[in-house]
A and B are shown apart, each in its own frame.
Chain A
Amino acid sequence: NAGVTQTPKFQVLKTGQSMTLQCAQDMNHNSMYWYRQDPGMGLRLIYYSASEGTTDKGEVPNGYNVSRLNKREFSLRLESAAPSQTSVYFCASRDSTAVNYGYTFGSGTRLTVV
């Protein structure tokens, strides 16, 4: 099925460890996004990429880096994980020509940093 695929679905890290969250979409969308969801906070934008080769900071970029590897893939890296980064991470993509501006989200990565 077409959509946004995130890996892994679950991860436990120790403080200071690094990891990369992977995201791929097969809908030929130009724009891709990384959000985090925390209780009582809604979804907050970490980074986004409006097109292949470009990335920009969102609302909460500190502690993260991103790579738009090609049109399909947008990865999120935690260089030195901290307990404050315990969250559910969602990748999303959007057809920048679409009228309704709706994102397509992946199913999420639940990350726990201990």
Chain B
Amino acid sequence: DQQVKQNSPSLSVQEGRISILNCDYTNSMFDYFLWYKKYPAEGPTFLISISSIKDKNEDGRFTVFLNKSAKHLSLHIVPSQPGDSAVYFCAARVFGNEKLTFGTGTRLTIIP
């Protein structure tokens, strides 16, 4: 039972354009959501997060949007740069639970 779903295994975007990565979830008990970025042969690195009491959080070129009614979140990267080419995982947490549940990842390729 995949509670966090990333339905697009891959995405290609031209450099300078907007990249939009999507994530859907099924567990209404999730109260905190995170995005991680992973380069080959490295561990994932934390990128940005959002609490369920907000609908938007911004950090430089990265913005995460949360639509609770649709159980959907998205990560926007503007403008996209070659160094953004990586695999992006979304993750979610139930309040009070130590465990993060991860999606299967989306491979983003930025085309110069």
Contacts and interface: CB of A to CB of B under 8 A. Distances in A.
B112 interface: no
A82 to B, nearest CB: 23
Given A90-B44, A92-B43, A108-B41, A103 B99 contact: no
Nearest to A9: B41
A48 B99 contact: yes
Interface in A75-110: 90, 92, 100-108
A106 B42 CA distance: 8
Contact of B45 (A56, A101, A105, A108): A105
The contact size tier of chain A is 20 to 34
B23 to A, nearest CB: 11
A104 B45 CA distance: 7
Interface in B14-54: 32, 34, 36, 41-46, 49
A103 to B, nearest CB: 7
B74 interface: no
The contact size tier of chain B is 20 to 34
Given A101-B34, A102-B34, A45 B44 contact: no
Which of A43, A56, A58, A90 gathers the greatest number of chain B CB atoms within 10 Å? Answer: A43
Contacts of B36: 103, 105
B89 A105 contact: no
Given A48-B98, A50-B98, A41 B104 contact: yes
B46 A42 contact: no
B102 A58 contact: no
B26 to A, nearest CB: 14
Given A101-B100, A104-B46, 20 more contacts: A42-B4, A42-B102, A42-B103, A42-B104, A43-B91, A44-B102, A45-B100, A56-B98, A58-B99, A90-B43, A100-B46, A101-B49, A101-B93, A102-B49, A103-B36, A103-B44, A103-B46, A105-B36, A105-B44, A105-B45
> What are the 10 tightest A-B residue pairs by CB atom distance, in nearest-first order?
A105-B43, A102-B46, A42-B102, A43-B102, A42-B104, A100-B49, A107-B43, A105-B44, A106-B43, A45-B99
